[in-house]
A and B are shown apart, each in its own frame.
Chain A
Amino acid sequence: MIWDYAIPRVETGVAAQDAGQPMDNEAFAGFYERSARSLWAYLARVSGNPALADDLMQEAYLRFLGVSHLADGEVARRRYLFRIATNLMRDHWRRPRTSSIDELPETLLAAGDGSAASDAHVMLGPALAQMRPRDRQLLWLAYAENYTHSEIAEITGLKSASIRLLLFRARRKVVRLLQNETSAERGRA
């Protein structure tokens, strides 16, 4: 084929990995195995829509693989992947048909089966459902994914200095909601 010389060939092997080049099939399969479930959980719990999480996750990996120079190291790549997913989620919310980030259907977030989990876990779904998507995002990245403030800033695109305050407010709100849920539960019992 006449264009073959111009089409980038896929680098294979460890050398490509070390040079920050796109992954080969096997390396990607391993990375996908280690990161996909966490990414899906993040997208599904923050967006409140498992079907949307499926679509966004697929798109996030396609964009991740389309990057010509990836950062070195699994942790940095994983963080970059979460950043892509966060941007995709934001783009989705900004589209006219879903109006805005604050008008996302929050009822979708209600927890399903939580029989085996602790009280706080069972009530976390309804509590998160009453929060703004950005607060859910920050709380999930901090408490489910264990990211530091600077890492959360890198993923969300927010200023590092404001993460502390935003996270503090989100945490105060979720704790209050969890306490209200607990009181209501005890009242019903």
Chain B
Amino acid sequence: MTLGHCAREDEVMELLHSGQWPAACDPELRDHVAGCSLCAQTVMLKSAFAAALSEAKDEARLQSAGLLWWRAQLLRRNAAVERVNRPIARAQRFALLINLLAAVALVASQWSHMDRLAAWFSGVAEAPIFHPVALWSMASQQPGWNLMLLIPCVGAVVVLGGITVYLATER
């Protein structure tokens, strides 16, 4: 396929681009454009697009450059922090894996004593400390127990438990 191209088209484009068309143009070139359909099209298109560009530039609603720059800095900092945190997160996962393996190894090594351990757990589960009603009655009846001490202790356990769960699940 042959593409229509005039040898003087670049010259015309250059004049149009520099704003020298048609006033500061050689009359000979102007005569050429009048007779060359390709160059005439170039002049028409270039002028039309230049006018469209000028109109569109007036329509543009620009944001503050400072705001954009600030947002970009924030994004760069966040990306850098994330890059730094990545190996730490990997190390945390590795530590968790090691702990799990150690726990599994411990359970496997103590497997023969499991029945005694289960009996101990069932004894602990029946202790009054895990039954609020029994704990309350025991605390109110026995002279050695102080309710004013017990309530803040239980509250502290609840609050600390909540904080622990929050910190453990925080990203």
Contact = CB atoms under 8 A, between A and B. Distances in A.
Q: Do A and B bind each other?
A: yes
Given A114-B55, A168-B3, A25 B66 contact: yes
Interface string B59-85: 111110110110111011101110110
Interface size class of A (residues with CB under 8 A): 35 or more
Interface stretch (B40-48, B107-115, B124-132): B40-48
A36 B62 contact: yes
A124 B3 contact: no
B90 interface: no
A118 B43 CA distance: 12
A165 B52 contact: no
Contacts of B1: 165
Nearest to A175: B41
Contacts of B59: 40-41, 44, 50
A98 interface: no
B65 A33 contact: yes
Interface residues of B, number: 39
Interface in A30-60: 32-33, 36-38, 40-41, 44-45, 50, 54, 58
Given A29-B65, A45-B56, A120-B45, 12 more contacts: A6-B81, A7-B80, A8-B76, A37-B56, A40-B60, A41-B53, A41-B56, A66-B75, A117-B55, A124-B51, A139-B45, A164-B3
Contact of A117 (B44, B51, B84): B51
Leading 10 A-B pairs by shortest Cβ distance = A41-B56, A65-B72, A143-B49, A121-B51, A40-B60, A120-B48, A32-B65, A37-B57, A29-B65, A144-B49
Nearest to B3: A168
Contacts of B66: 25, 29
A35 B55 CA distance: 15
Contacts of B79: 66
Interface of A: 3, 6-8, 10, 22-23, 25, 28-29, 32-33, 36-38, 40-41, 44-45, 50, 54, 58, 61-62, 65-66, 111, 114, 117-118, 120-121, 123-125, 139-140, 143-146, 164-165, 168, 171-172, 174-175, 178
A40 B45 CA distance: 20
B32 interface: no
Given A28-B69, A66-B75, A174-B45, A41 B60 contact: yes
B75 to A, nearest CB: 6
